[in-house]
Amino acid sequence: MSLVNKIYSNYSKLAPNINENSEQNFEYFDRELNQFKNLKEKKIIEIGYGNGFFLDWAKKKQLDITGYEINETFHQKAKLNHKVVLGEGVNISSEVKEKFDLIVLFDVIEHISKENLLNFFENLYKLLNDDGQILLRFPNGSSAAGLEYFNSDLTHYTFLNRRSLKMVAELNKFELIYFGNMKRVNKFKTFRGKLFGRFVYLLRNLIEYIYGNLYFGEKIPLDPNVVGILKKI
C-alpha cells in the first residue's frame, strides 16, 4: 500500500488541523455564507464534509443540504443526522442524482491532483443548476503562510492562488466572481484579547497592501487560507 493510500485509509484519525470548537466554526460559517442571498431557497451540497461541522451549521440554519464524502468513517458518523452520500470521488455527478444551486468545498480542492482537476470541475459543472455557484476554501498559494497548511498534510497535491483558480475556472465555463482571505473570526473572548486580535488583523492588512503594491500593483491576500467563489456561465 502506498503512503498516500495508507494515510487516506486512516484519514479520520490523521487529518491535521481539525477544529473542534463548534462556536467558532459556526461564527465562521455565519460570516462566510453571508455572501449568499436567500440561502434557505437554495439546494446545497457540501463535497468532502469531513467531521460534519458545516452540515451541523446548515441543519441549525434549516438549509436544504446534502453531504458527499469518500471517507467511510466520516460517512458513518454523519448519516446518523444528515442526508449524505458515500462515493468514490471520481464521477460525483453520476453518484449524486440531483442538481444544486450551491456547492461548498472546504479544504478539498488541494487534495485533487492537477491531472484530475479538469475532470473534477466537469463533475461540479454537471451538478449545478443554471447560474449555480461554488464556494471553495483552500491553502493560499500566494502566501508563505499558506505553506504551513499545505505541507502539513501529505495528501495535498495542488497549491492554488487567484490566477491559477481563474485559469481552471475558465477552462470549465465558470467565472471567478470573488477571491479573498477566508473570513476572519476573532479567537479571543476577553476585551484585551479582542483588541489584540484587531491589531493583528490591521497589521496583516497593512502588510498585504504594501507587499501587493510593491510587487503586483494591487493588494494581495496573504492569510493562510483563501476563498474563491465561482459562477456557472
105 grid coordinates: 468545498
The phi and psi torsions of 37 (rounded to 5 degrees) equal: -90, 150
pLDDT in tens, 152-179: 999 999 999 999 999 999 999 999 999 9
33 grid coordinates: 455564507
pLDDT in tens, 65-105: 999 999 999 999 999 999 999 999 999 999 998 999 999 99
DSSP 144: T
Q: Three-state SS across 114-135?
A: HHHHHHHHHHHHHHEEEEEEEE
pLDDT in tens, 181-208: 999 997 777 887 788 888 999 999 999 9
Collapse the DSSP code of 53 into the 3-class scheme (helix H, G, I; strand E, B; otherwise coil) and give the result.
helix
A 10 A CB-CB count for 160 gives 25
pTM for this predicted structure: 0.92
Of 183, 136, 139, give the one whose Cα is nearest residue 161: 139
Q: Got the DSSP string for 55-122?
A: HHHHHHTT-EEEEEES-HHHHHHHTTTS-EEE--SSSHHHH----EEEEEEES-GGGS-HHHHHHHHH
Of 56, 59, 78, 149, give the one whose Cα is nearest residue 110: 149
